[in-house]
Chains A and B, each alone.
Chain A
Amino acid sequence: MKNLRDYYRVAKTMLLVACFGLAITACSDDNDDIVYSDVKVEVQAPTGISNIEYDAMNITFTDTATKETTTFDFSALQANGFQTKLIEGLYDIMIEGDATADVEGVSKAIKVRGDLQAVEITANGELQSLSIPLQLLDVGSGFVFAEIFVSGTLTPEGNSYLGDSYFRLYNNSDEVLDAQGLAILESAMQSNVHHDFFVLDQETDEEDIQAGDGTPYDTYKTNYFITDAIYMIPRGEAVLVQPGESLLLVDVAKDHSVDNANSFNLSVANYEWYDENDRYPDTQTEVPDLDKLYASSKSIWIPHQGGIKAYALAQIPAEITPEQFAEDNIVNYYYEFVYGDLQRMMTSKRYEIPTSWIQDCVNLSNQTDYEWNEISSVLDKSYAWVSDGSQGASNKGKSVRRKVLSGKLLLDTNDSANDFEQSVEANPFYEFHD
């Protein structure tokens, strides 16, 4: 009988332990739902057109945390906009497609594109409405970048080698084009460093700037491109380029393979950019120099070797002299730097050109460092890359080269991720066609 009582007592004890455990288990948090937010997107038609009818439109949401993209058919948008559910997060949103509209009184088919970057989608129980301004997309023919090589090479000994950067410009039309006045530009902003820039009407001391003063850069960039280097093909004599032919613009136009077996003979280039200065002398060769309109560097200009800037090809109007350009195209901008308690306005002074002058633009970044599109999505909605973001020298000797669409025609949709072969072995003499 005593044994029975003992077993009963033990059983009670063990039950107590088990119940206690279960009680704690029951307190564990099982709330693991993912939070969604309702989002509505509407578009603003491009300015200067009327009676727009959207045909085939797509909207793409890119989750910046995961780089996952979700694309919806947006064709029936004009009545009520587009509504969906998104997981809370930070998104880049892109809309593009075809439409018909009256342009200068004539009904014609057009392409439109618009985007919003770094949009915070948070769930507050209310519908989050977004409005995206669309712009006309000009992917016509003309001069385009066929290949961009900015990352430099390595010597056989593994040392870094400079001076052999080049840009290859290509006549992507079916007519002979004159390249005089054509300029290459490097963007002042980098695609891997994102700040909330604001553009000021005039130069202002940083102490006098209030956060939010000026025009938001996202609005400004639809009409302007801020640059820190402009080099132009000299005027005065026609520089005729046949359809499917190209011009080679290089840093130092010499046979680099003499000094570095991994480099190229650039002595046959059409132009070089030459910076006369007394800080770090440039190498002058017999190849004609480009006209330097502006470079932020006090010595020589070396395109950013990291491949994280945008490059534009702009036709500088004939009536604009270098002096006038320097006088009229200054731009002042700033962003607010915050680090803990430290806060200050970081101002910059560079030069701007209207996006209407730009014939082609290629944004560069690398696969893992890309933070934002520092140029208008109408110029380039994505980026080409020479480096996948690996630490080290994976980009050395690599360029981006435009794909061939057919025959002598190269692919140009203002979408460099699609238009370019990424991180290919640089070859300034690559044959795009027979």
Chain B
Amino acid sequence: MNFMTNQQLDRYIGLAFLTLCVCMTPYTSKGQALEHAALNYYKYAHDKAEMSLTYTYEHSPQAVVQQYGRGISQMEFEVNAFHILNKNSRLWGEVSYTNACTFDIQGTENSDYDLIYPYVIADEVGGDMKSEAYQFNTGYAWHHKRWTLGGTLGYRALLAYRDVDPRPKNTIGHLKSTVSVAYDINLTHLWSVHIGGEKYKQATGISLYNPYKTVLFYHDTGLGTDYSRFSGKGSSTDITGQFYQFSMAYYPKTDNGFGAQFDWKNKQLQKVLSGFNALPLNDLRNNSYKYIAYYVQNNLSNRWKIQSSWYTANRKGTENIFGSDASTTYEKISSRQYYNQRIYAGTIEGLYSWNLNHKHWYEIAPKVSWISNEQVHKRDHRELDYTWLVASLETKAHLLFKKSTLHLSIIGQMRWVPRATCNFDIQQYTFVNKNHIMDANHQQMMTINVRYDTPWLVADKQIYVMGSYSHGRYAESLQTHRGTCGLGIIF
């Protein structure tokens, strides 16, 4: 039966979710649950491999988040595979190459804004940013009796640059590895423990080819503040980091019964002015926790699931204080933990899917999230608080024809803002204010995803085509349109 595999479904759902997330502010991200490599052993019953080429385009009149730009033109090539080596071993991997141009990024010359904010270099010029990213991930799981061991290794390399002044050049290297072990406690459930570590580095240098162009660079420190002493200096920076993660999961391996998971992530980053004797300007520490509990029932004709989750994150930023430069070296004399962000998010979601004649499969998934996002910069006692209520409804249909399959999903999302408070004059900080206008007002989003696994074969390989369209409505009558189209081969 040419029915969609779980992996295909996950990718399909993932694409839809990604499309949705990219259009939201960074603060609405509640963190994805960590993936235990050992549990991948149980995930698929057969080999699979896919190769795809997708193109995404959006060019909006203004940005929802200034640091994300006003849209993107992106080509992505990806190959992923899952292979059952033998009864006890599974191997999987993914390789991708992305070539993109993000339009009119403002408020940061760094990349990976989500990860490193608020400590970015910014100027008042900004502009389009081109990027090339290479990503490689592989994993292996080995099963013996009631134990399963798993591990993953991944590396991401990104080069982002602008070819007009000011010309930032960001080079990112990001190494990730995880290890997990699962124990089969009975016929239905597994216990799994997962640990991971990551090394991160982003080297940034900004140059001006036109000696008469004037650009002033700021080292932002959050909520419109900047490190004044080093404004205009040190446009060469290194951001280095170590990330750690731990997770425990109680996992229903037959996709029936209760499940639970606890995730902890710790990210420690340091921003260094490389031209100032490697002066460590800022430290950033981000701790996040996620608790998930769910109950799932699955049989041949229908599947339902109810899940609750709680996510909390605390981002603390420290500005290091240095003594006089009179001896040509800056000695650190103190530090000030000025920036603090706390995010709390509670989510309840449900899912019901049913199967008609083992050919057509329909799904409906409602979801409600309550999100609190509080930011404080203690220097001027600045506070910026939001509470968002997000409701979404996703409907899917998977229609199996004689030699082809059609997958269709529609996601509608509303975000209300019960509370948005700001205790400082935000209007004098252009980028902060523009983001605030979007964050403090309601948002609506609709996404349609289509994938058609065609009956056409090339060298006995099945071809699929896919498309996605997202429409967002924001404050100031802003409407965004994002489209993705793609072509893939199933091996």
Interface flags, A369-381, vs B, CB<8A=1, else 0: 1011000000000
A85 at the interface (CB under 8 A from B): no
B327 at the interface (CB under 8 A from A): yes
A337 at the interface (CB under 8 A from B): yes
Contact of B215 among A68, A87, A195, A391 (CB under 8 A): A391
CA gap between A90 and B208 in the complex, in Å: 32
CA gap between A372 and B246 in the complex, in Å: 48
| A13 close to B216 (CB less than 8 A) | no
B319 at the interface (CB under 8 A from A): yes
A66-B228 in contact given A194-B326, A392-B213 (Cβ < 8 Å): yes
| A18 close to B291 (CB less than 8 A) | yes
| A17 close to B328 (CB less than 8 A) | no
Contact of A371 among B319, B325, B333 (CB under 8 A): B325
Query: Chain B residues near A34 (CB, 8 Å)?
Result: 336-338, 378
| A368 close to B261 (CB less than 8 A) | no
Query: Chain A residues near B260 (CB, 8 Å)?
Result: 13-14, 17-18
A288 at the interface (CB under 8 A from B): no
Contact residues, B312-361 vs A (CB, 8 A) = 312, 314, 316, 319, 321-329, 333-334, 336-338, 340
- The stretch of B19-27, B90-98, B145-153, B229-237 in contact with A is B229-237
Query: Chain A residues near B210 (CB, 8 Å)?
Result: 392
CA gap between A34 and B215 in the complex, in Å: 33
Contact residues, A393-427 vs B (CB, 8 A) = 393-394, 396
Interface flags, B284-310, vs A, CB<8A=1, else 0: 000101010100000000000000000
Query: Chain A residues near B216 (CB, 8 Å)?
Result: 368, 388-391
| B258 close to A14 (CB less than 8 A) | yes
B379 at the interface (CB under 8 A from A): yes
| A65 close to B211 (CB less than 8 A) | no
| B214 close to A391 (CB less than 8 A) | yes
Query: Chain B residues near A25 (CB, 8 Å)?
Result: 289, 312
Query: Chain A residues near B289 (CB, 8 Å)?
Result: 21, 24-25
Contact residues, A81-127 vs B (CB, 8 A) = 87-90, 118, 120, 122-123
| A24 close to B232 (CB less than 8 A) | no
Query: Chain A residues near B327 (CB, 8 Å)?
Result: 195-196, 335-336, 338
Contact of A21 among B212, B215, B217, B264 (CB under 8 A): B264
Query: Chain B residues near A391 (CB, 8 Å)?
Result: 166, 208, 213-217, 232, 235
B32 at the interface (CB under 8 A from A): no
Size class of the contact patch on chain B: 35 or more
CA gap between A88 and B325 in the complex, in Å: 17
A32-B329 in contact given A20-B248, A65-B319, A392-B210 (Cβ < 8 Å): no
Minimum CB distance partner of A30 in chain B: B314
Minimum CB distance partner of B295 in chain A: A10
CA gap between A337 and B326 in the complex, in Å: 9
A67 at the interface (CB under 8 A from B): yes
CA gap between A104 and B246 in the complex, in Å: 78
CA gap between A18 and B262 in the complex, in Å: 7
Minimum CB distance partner of A335 in chain B: B326
Min C-beta distance of B425 to chain A, whole Å: 16
Minimum CB distance partner of B227 in chain A: A65
A67-B328 in contact given A90-B333, A392-B210 (Cβ < 8 Å): no
A90-B258 in contact given A66-B379, A391-B215, A392-B215 (Cβ < 8 Å): no
| A158 close to B334 (CB less than 8 A) | no
A154 at the interface (CB under 8 A from B): yes
CA gap between A335 and B215 in the complex, in Å: 33
Min C-beta distance of B436 to chain A, whole Å: 22
| A10 close to B326 (CB less than 8 A) | no
A47 at the interface (CB under 8 A from B): no
B423 at the interface (CB under 8 A from A): no
B362 at the interface (CB under 8 A from A): no
Size class of the contact patch on chain A: 35 or more
Question: Which of the listed residues B212, B248, B326, B338 has the most CB atoms from chain A within 10 Å of its own CB?
Answer: B326
Min C-beta distance of B246 to chain A, whole Å: 8
B277 at the interface (CB under 8 A from A): yes
A297 at the interface (CB under 8 A from B): no
| A10 close to B258 (CB less than 8 A) | yes
B77 at the interface (CB under 8 A from A): no
A51 at the interface (CB under 8 A from B): no
| B248 close to A17 (CB less than 8 A) | yes
| A195 close to B326 (CB less than 8 A) | yes
CA gap between A123 and B321 in the complex, in Å: 13
Contact of A35 among B261, B264, B314, B334 (CB under 8 A): B334
| B277 close to A339 (CB less than 8 A) | yes
CA gap between A174 and B324 in the complex, in Å: 44
Query: Chain B residues near A324 (CB, 8 Å)?
Result: none
Min C-beta distance of B132 to chain A, whole Å: 26
Contact of A10 among B235, B248, B257 (CB under 8 A): B257
B250 at the interface (CB under 8 A from A): yes
| A28 close to B262 (CB less than 8 A) | no
Contact residues, A49-83 vs B (CB, 8 A) = 64-68
CA gap between A64 and B330 in the complex, in Å: 13
Query: Chain B residues near A195 (CB, 8 Å)?
Result: 326-328
A28-B287 in contact given A66-B229, A122-B333, A196-B327 (Cβ < 8 Å): yes
Contact residues, A205-246 vs B (CB, 8 A) = none
A28-B329 in contact given A20-B248, A88-B321, A90-B323 (Cβ < 8 Å): no
Interface flags, B192-216, vs A, CB<8A=1, else 0: 0000000000000000101111111
Minimum CB distance partner of B323 in chain A: A120
Query: Chain B residues near A120 (CB, 8 Å)?
Result: 323-324, 333
| B233 close to A392 (CB less than 8 A) | no
Contact residues, A345-386 vs B (CB, 8 A) = 366-369, 371-372
Contact of B322 among A90, A123, A393, A394 (CB under 8 A): A90
CA gap between A24 and B229 in the complex, in Å: 37
CA gap between A408 and B246 in the complex, in Å: 75
CA gap between A90 and B277 in the complex, in Å: 19
Query: Chain B residues near A28 (CB, 8 Å)?
Result: 287, 314
CA gap between A394 and B214 in the complex, in Å: 6
| A393 close to B324 (CB less than 8 A) | no
| B215 close to A390 (CB less than 8 A) | yes
Contact of A392 among B212, B316, B319 (CB under 8 A): B212
CA gap between A371 and B166 in the complex, in Å: 25
Query: Chain B residues near A32 (CB, 8 Å)?
Result: 316, 337, 340
Contact of A368 among B232, B257, B293 (CB under 8 A): B232
CA gap between A181 and B324 in the complex, in Å: 38
Query: Chain B residues near A368 (CB, 8 Å)?
Result: 216, 228, 231-233
Min C-beta distance of A116 to chain B, whole Å: 11
Minimum CB distance partner of A337 in chain B: B328
Question: Which of the listed residues A339, A391, A392 has the most CB atoms from chain B within 10 Å of its own CB?
Answer: A391
Query: Chain A residues near B262 (CB, 8 Å)?
Result: 17-18, 20-21
Min C-beta distance of B144 to chain A, whole Å: 23
Minimum CB distance partner of B246 in chain A: A24
Query: Chain A residues near B261 (CB, 8 Å)?
Result: 17
Min C-beta distance of A6 to chain B, whole Å: 8
Query: Chain B residues near A390 (CB, 8 Å)?
Result: 214-216, 232
CA gap between A304 and B331 in the complex, in Å: 29
Minimum CB distance partner of B249 in chain A: A17
Query: Chain A residues near B277 (CB, 8 Å)?
Result: 339
Contact residues, B362-386 vs A (CB, 8 A) = 378-379
Complex A-B: 9 CB contacts under 8 Å: A10-B250, A10-B258, A68-B379, A118-B324, A194-B326, A338-B327, A366-B232, A389-B216, A389-B231
With A17-B260, A391-B216, A393-B214 given, name 6 new contacts (CB 8 A): A20-B262, A21-B291, A33-B337, A90-B322, A335-B326, A336-B327
Going nearest first, the 10 A-B pairs with the smallest beta carbon separation are A368-B232, A389-B232, A88-B334, A390-B214, A118-B324, A392-B214, A394-B214, A196-B326, A67-B228, A393-B212
On B, residues with C-beta under 8 Å from A are 166, 208, 210-217, 225, 227-229, 231-233, 235, 246, 248, 250, 257-258, 260-262, 264, 277, 287, 289, 291, 293, 312, 314, 316, 319, 321-329, 333-334, 336-338, 340, 378-379
